[in-house]
Homo-oligomer: A and B are copies of this chain.
Amino acid sequence: MAKPLASIVSAGLSKFGKREGVSGRELFVEAFKEAMERCPSLDPRKDIQALIIGQMSESFEHQCHIAPITSDWAGLLPTPAVRTEVACASSAAAIRYGVLAVMSGVYDVVLVGGVEKMTNRTTPEATEYLGMAADFPMEQWNGVTFPGLFALMATAHMHKYGTTEEQMALIAVKNHHNATLNPKAHMRKEVTVEQVLNSRMIAWPLKLFDCSLISDGAACAVITRPELARKFTDTPIQIIGSGHGSDTIGLYEREDLTSLMAVYRAASEAYKMAGVEPSDIDVAEVHDCFTIAEIMAYEALGFCKPGEGGRLIEDGVTTLDGSLPVNPSGGLKAKGHPIGATGAAQLYEIYLQLIGEAGDRQVDGCEVGLTQNLGGSGASCLIHIYRRD
A35 to chain B, nearest CB (A): 19
Closest B residue by C-beta to A103? B104
Chain B residues, Cβ within 8 Å of A87: 64-65
| Cα separation A56 to B16 with both chains bound (whole Å) | 27
- Cβ of A314 within 8 Å of any chain B Cβ, yes or no, is no
CB atoms of B132 and A78 under 8 A apart: no
CB atoms of B245 and A78 under 8 A apart: yes
Chain B residues, Cβ within 8 Å of A105: 103
Q: Which of A180-188, A324-332, A374-382 contacts B (4 or more CB under 8 A)?
A: A374-382
CB atoms of A246 and B132 under 8 A apart: no
A174 to chain B, nearest CB (A): 29
| Cα separation A62 to B32 with both chains bound (whole Å) | 31
Q: Which of A68-76, A202-210, A227-235, A364-372 contacts B (4 or more CB under 8 A)?
A: A68-76
Closest B residue by C-beta to A83? B85
- Cβ of A244 within 8 Å of any chain B Cβ, yes or no, is yes
- Cβ of A79 within 8 Å of any chain B Cβ, yes or no, is yes
- Cβ of A133 within 8 Å of any chain B Cβ, yes or no, is yes
CB atoms of B83 and A249 under 8 A apart: no
Considering only residues 159-206 of chain A, those with a C-beta below 8 Å from chain B are none
CB atoms of A379 and B247 under 8 A apart: no
Chain B residues, Cβ within 8 Å of A31: none
Q: Mark A86-115, 1 if CB is under 8 A from B, else 0.
A: 110000010011011101111000000000
CB atoms of B100 and A104 under 8 A apart: yes
- Cβ of A224 within 8 Å of any chain B Cβ, yes or no, is no
Q: Which of A50, A82, A100, A136 has the most CB of B within 10 A?
A: A82
Q: Which of A84, A105, A242 has the most CB of B within 10 A?
A: A84
With A82-B93, A86-B82 as contacts: A376 and B65 at CB distance below 8 Å? yes
Considering only residues 45-71 of chain A, those with a C-beta below 8 Å from chain B are 50, 56-59, 61-65, 67-69, 71
CB atoms of B246 and A68 under 8 A apart: yes
- Cβ of A297 within 8 Å of any chain B Cβ, yes or no, is no
Chain B residues, Cβ within 8 Å of A261: 78
Q: Which of A68, A72, A86, A262 has the most CB of B within 10 A?
A: A68
Chain B residues, Cβ within 8 Å of A244: 50, 80, 82
CB atoms of A58 and B61 under 8 A apart: no
Nearest 10 CB-CB pairs, A to B? A103-B104, A80-B244, A68-B379, A65-B87, A100-B104, A83-B85, A68-B246, A65-B133, A64-B132, A104-B104
What are 24 of the A-B contact pairs (CB < 8 Å)?
A: A23-B137, A57-B64, A58-B58, A62-B136, A63-B136, A64-B87, A65-B132, A65-B134, A65-B249, A67-B380, A68-B86, A68-B380, A69-B379, A72-B246, A77-B246, A78-B262, A78-B265, A80-B380, A82-B86, A82-B380, A84-B85, A97-B100, A101-B104, A103-B104
